[in-house]
């Protein structure tokens, strides 16, 4: 392995972000007051939150980030309101969460006020703390259905969606938006006021337009103007890839909190490090071993998802009533032993092995997606990404991580938490994505 990973070296985990992998904490900065944030009736322990990122911020990842500290709120991957209302199994899986993740917001997208209100009621029945509306996704396949950022082009209609939702649920309704549709249509200040008047409990603004996608820079001056104009909390988002940047965004403005997306993918400790900086404490960078351990723990959580979980561990929605009568909290139907094969779906026990192969492929693909961000800036990071993309089994993936992050020393210390996965463990699982 490269000498750059030895103790005492520095690893760059993103543009401008270097992390020590050896002894010695970063010097403390001047303390910055981090005021608690209250969204409707929900108190957040920290003003920093994990932004929703499709395909990335699943329940397992959210739990691991929460365990590192400094996280006041997590938001699910965006969930289709249409899929929720119709009870589509893949959609329902996106809405799953565990108690460990609280406080949690389930983010939904759609453009029909009645459907969005009905989906919000399902989110409330699931026990989520907050229901969030996606008005920021610039992806064409979302925008073309009058959802995501395309709602910003029709401010009054967007407000009507929020109004229908706030009249239908008791939990707080929040909205995530962008600066506007394009440079000629920057209307976040106007839309934010309409959203507040419609009853929203908080707003998050990503300081780029839909046309920019993720190019250019996030306009934090615009975000500050929105915060100055509203009485509800305003979260800002964009370009926070260093803990110092998070703290700086909370200093000297009325911005109530920061949503961190890509920065968390590169460095899951970033929120804890920002909390330390804000409190004037020394920041302890993650060690090389800890970075490898994070990946192994993530694999374990993904592989064992749904296996030997206590009753009520995972909040799910499903259909145990006849289709058409509406979703309810997940639970097995009566009439004999059954095994879960998806959110709210059951089949006879001892499913065939293609389901197990599907789960293994799903886990490998999840690690490949995370590695594209997690290894950025590492010397030999491209080599690691190439190797991850070549892995065809969980065993090979685990061995690669142990080797790359120099974790062989633990083999002799009796640590069996990351034992090799067997086909017997995979057999009951039926992820096919």
What residues act catalytically?
Answer: 137
Q: What is the DSSP letter of 283?
A: B
What are the beta bridge partners of residue 283? 26
Specify the DSSP element, H or E, that contains 106: strand 104-109
According to DSSP, residue 313 is labeled: S
Cα 220 from chain centroid?
22
Largest CA distance in the chain: 64
Cβ neighbourhood burial of 362 (10 Å; 0-12, 13-18, 19+): middle
Q: What are phi and psi of 352, to 5 degrees?
A: -75, 165
Least Cα distance to 297 among 203, 410, 398, 191 occurs for 398
Given a contact cutoff of 8 angstroms between Cβ atoms, the answer to whether 246 and 37 are in contact is no
C-alpha closest to that of 93 among 309, 362, 312, 318:
318
Q: How far apart are CA 369 and CA 389, in angstroms?
A: 9
- Asked whether the beta carbons of 119 and 106 are under 8 A apart, the reply is no
Q: Which of 51, 50, 270 is nearest to 176 (CA)?
A: 51
Tell me what percent of the chain is helix, strand and coil, each rounded to the nearest 5: 40, 20, 40
Cα–Cα nearest to 12, from 420, 285, 315: 285
CA 1 to chain centre: 32
Report the DSSP pairing between strands 104-109 and 130-135.
Answer: parallel
In this structure, what token pair is assigned to residue 409? 């020393």
Q: At which residue do the structure tokens 């100055």 appear? A: 228
H or E stretch at 282:
none
State the Cα–Cα distance between residues 74 and 106, nearest whole angstrom.
9
Closest to 26 in 3D by CA, of 276, 288, 376, 209 = 276
Rounded Cα gap, residues 122 and 155, in angstroms: 25
Residue 398 φ then ψ, to 5°:
-65, -45
């Amino acid at each position: 392995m490269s000498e750059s990973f030895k103790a005492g070296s520095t690893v760059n985990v993103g543009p401008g972000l270097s992390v020590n992998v050896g002894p010695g904490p970063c010097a403390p900065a001047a303390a910055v007051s981090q005021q608690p944030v209250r969204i409707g009736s929900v108190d957040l322990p920290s003003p920093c939150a994990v932004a929703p990122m499709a395909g990335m911020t699943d329940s397992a990842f959210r739990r691991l980030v929460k365990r590192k500290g400094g996280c006041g709120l997590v938001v699910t991957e965006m969930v289709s309101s249409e899929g929720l209302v119709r009870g589509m199994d893949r959609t329902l899986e996106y809405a799953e969460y565990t108690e460990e993740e609280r406080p949690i917001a389930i983010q939904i997208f759609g453009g029909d006020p009645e459907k969005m209100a009905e989906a919000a009621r399902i989110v409330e029945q699931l026990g989520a703390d907050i229901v969030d509306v996606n008005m920021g996704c610039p992806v064409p396949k979302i925008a073309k259905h009058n959802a995501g950022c395309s709602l910003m082009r029709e401010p009054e209609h967007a407000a009507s969606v929020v109004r229908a939702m706030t009249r239908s649920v008791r939990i707080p309704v929040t909205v995530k938006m962008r600066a506007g549709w394009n440079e000629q249509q920057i209307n976040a200040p106007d839309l934010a006021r309409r959203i507040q008047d419609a009853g929203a409990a908080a707003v998050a603004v990503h300081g780029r337009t839909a046309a920019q996608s993720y190019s250019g820079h996030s306009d934090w001056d615009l975000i500050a103007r929105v915060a100055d104009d509203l009485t509800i909390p305003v979260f800002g988002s964009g370009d926070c890839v260093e803990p110092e940047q998070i703290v700086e965004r909370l200093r000297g403005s009325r911005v109530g909190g920061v949503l961190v997306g890509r920065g968390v993918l590169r460095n899951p400790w970033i929120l804890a490090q920002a909390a330390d900086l804000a409190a004037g404490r020394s920041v302890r960078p993650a060690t090389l071993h800890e970075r490898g351990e994070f990946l192994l723990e993530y694999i374990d959580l993904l592989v064992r998802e749904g296996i030997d979980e206590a009753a009520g561990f995972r909040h799910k929605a499903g259909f145990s009533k006849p289709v058409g009568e509406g979703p309810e909290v997940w639970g097995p139907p009566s009439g004999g032993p059954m095994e879960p094969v998806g959110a709210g779906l059951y089949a006879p026990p001892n499913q065939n092995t293609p389901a197990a192969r599907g789960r293994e492929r799903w886990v490998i693909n999840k690690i490949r997606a995370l590695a594209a961000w997690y290894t950025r800036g590492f010397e030999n990071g491209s080599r690691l990404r190439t190797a991850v993309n070549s892995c065809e089994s969980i065993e090979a993936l685990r061995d690669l991580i142990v080797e790359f992050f120099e974790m062989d020393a633990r083999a002799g210390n009796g640590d069996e938490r990351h034992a090799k996965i067997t086909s017997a463990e995979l057999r009951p699982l039926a992820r096919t994505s």
